[in-house]
Structure 1
Amino acid sequence: MNIETTKLELMRLLLNTQKESVLEKIKDIFLKESSQDWWEEMNEEVHQDIELGLKEAENGQVKKQLDI
């Protein structure tokens, strides 16, 4: 089965279900996948920069931006 056929079959199943629990599980899968993608797409240097920024913020080592 190719990917387009799989997508069509999933759409058919999705449209035909009346089970809210099934829809919630599918939604959770997509949310979990999309929340991980952006992190995985970045290289290690960016990961380290973000983690450093979070640690600095936790330690109060941040500069406040002035509203101009």
Structure 2
Amino acid sequence: MDIQAEKLNLIKWLTDIDEPAVIRSFIDLKNKQQADWWDEIDEQEKAEIEIGINQADNGETLTHEEVMAKYDKWRSK
């Protein structure tokens, strides 16, 4: 695939679109690509991530096998 040719094809296609809702969708997509996921989550989620990072830094982790054993009853067999 020639990426430059594909970009040009997309540009041409985009210039022919007259539907405002479609244009807004592309603008939203562009803005989402520029946003950092950290800025998209709430404070509670950030706090829980920080707790997990601190636990990992302090060696308070489980092996994969320990986690799988703990949740084995919910896993598909």
TM-score w.r.t. structure 1 length? 0.50
TM-score w.r.t. structure 2 length? 0.44
Question: Using CA pairs below 8 Å that are at least 6 residues apart, which structure has the higher relative contact order?
Answer: 1
